[in-house]
């Protein structure tokens, strides 16, 4: 097959003047080369397309592919991860990973949590802050946790994300509203263990391929898997392979993550992030159908 590769390359955006945190979700050239090498070893031809605007130009020029391997995150808008699959749908070109609906839905953390909650799956109680006037309406017990509604890779999360007073809550929400120009998700802080659960497949054929426990080392920013901790994970984080057979918390995490994957209609492969509450009960934090 002739397989096109869609992606956002971090170095390209840095060269255009974007900052390190703005480009945190984008890929390095080594990732693209590894995917390309794997596909070629399977006997396929590959064609580097690049980001959504490059794809649009290629489609208008008449280029077509048997399949597109899509890992493009997109740059702007709350539906940015849906841009590439939406264009490919319009031209009838098959692609890997989830469709535009799932990509848009899961990037909006509040919408995702509503569906999980309505589906009977555990996720922390939450509120959305779209403007300063929404802050006083929050009726959740402290401590709380605040982050941008539609970002990834720990963007907007640091040592000050855990909030213990109304003053801290207001200050943090106002800062995030100004920095990211999007609503803020405020949720009950979960102090327990954190897992990331990998899933492959679609629907009833989906299965868990493995679970890692995220363990912050002594020199890491405490309390959360922050942007700095993720960017410097080799020095600040230990990833431990854990199994459902040996750990009930892992078994429960895998159970709820697989149910969430199917409930949301995710496809092909991805990752879900889980953290335990004070009683050790796993709660779903985020669903990542375009996992890094």
First to last CA, the chain: 25
Q: What is the pLDDT of residues 213-239, one digit of tens each?
A: 999 998 888 888 887 887 888 889 999
Is 167 within 8 Å of 222 (Cβ atoms)? no
pLDDT the model gives residue 279: 98
pLDDT the model gives residue 224: 87
Fold observed for domain 126-188: Dna Ligase; domain 1 (3.30.1490)
pLDDT the model gives residue 171: 98
Low-confidence residues in the chain, pLDDT < 70: none
∠ Cα 2 36 237 (to 5°) = 145
Q: Sign of dihedral through CA atoms 46, 52, 58, 59?
A: positive
pLDDT the model gives residue 234: 86
Residue linked to tokens 């309505």: 118
Other residues' Cβ atoms within 10 Å of the Cβ of residue 103:
25
pLDDT the model gives residue 203: 98
pLDDT the model gives residue 261: 99
pLDDT the model gives residue 200: 98
Q: Which long-range contacts (CB under 8 A, 24 or more apart) does 133-137 make?
A: 135/169, 135/170, 135/173, 135/174
The domain 190-288 is placed in CATH, from the list 3.30.470.20, 3.20.20.70, 3.30.930.10, 3.40.630.30, at 3.30.470.20
Break the chain into its structural domains and give their ranges: 2-96, 126-188, 190-288
Q: What is the pLDDT of residues 7-55, one digit of tens each?
A: 999 999 999 999 888 888 899 999 999 999 999 999 999 999 999 999 9
Class of domain 2-96: alpha beta
pLDDT the model gives residue 13: 92
pLDDT the model gives residue 229: 80
């Amino acid at each position: 097959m002739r397989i096109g590769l869609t992606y956002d390359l971090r170095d390209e955006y840095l060269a255009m003047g974007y900052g390190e945190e703005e480009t945190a979700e984008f890929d390095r050239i080594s990732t693209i080369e590894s995917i390309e090498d794997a596909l070629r070893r399977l006997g396929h031809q590959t064609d580097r397309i690049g980001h959504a605007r490059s794809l649009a130009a290629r489609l208008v020029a008449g280029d077509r592919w048997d399949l597109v391997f899509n890992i493009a995150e997109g740059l702007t808008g709350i539906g940015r991860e849906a841009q590439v699959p939406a264009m490919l749908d319009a031209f009838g070109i098959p692609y890997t990973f989830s469709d535009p609906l799932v990509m848009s839905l899961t990037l909006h953390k509040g919408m995702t949590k509503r569906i999980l909650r309505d589906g009977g799956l555990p996720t922390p109680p939450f509120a959305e802050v779209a403007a300063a006037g929404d802050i006083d309406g929050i009726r959740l017990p402290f401590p709380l946790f605040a982050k941008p509604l539609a970002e990834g890779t720990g963007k907007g999360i640091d040592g000050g994300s855990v909030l213990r007073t109304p003053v801290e809550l207001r200050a943090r929400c106002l800062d995030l509203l100004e920095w990211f120009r999007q609503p803020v998700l405020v949720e009950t802080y979960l102090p327990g263990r954190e897992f990331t659960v990998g899933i492959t497949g679609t629907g009833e054929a989906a299965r868990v391929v493995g679970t890692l426990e995220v363990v912050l080392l002594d020199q890491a920013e405490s309390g959360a898997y922050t942007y700095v901790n993720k960017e410097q994970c080799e020095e600040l984080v230990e990833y431990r392979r854990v199994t459902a057979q040996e750990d009930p918390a892992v078994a429960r995490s895998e159970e709820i993550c697989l149910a969430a994957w199917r409930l949301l209609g995710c496809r092909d492969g991805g990752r879900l992030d889980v953290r335990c509450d004070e009683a050790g009960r796993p709660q779903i934090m985020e669903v990542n159908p375009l996992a890094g």
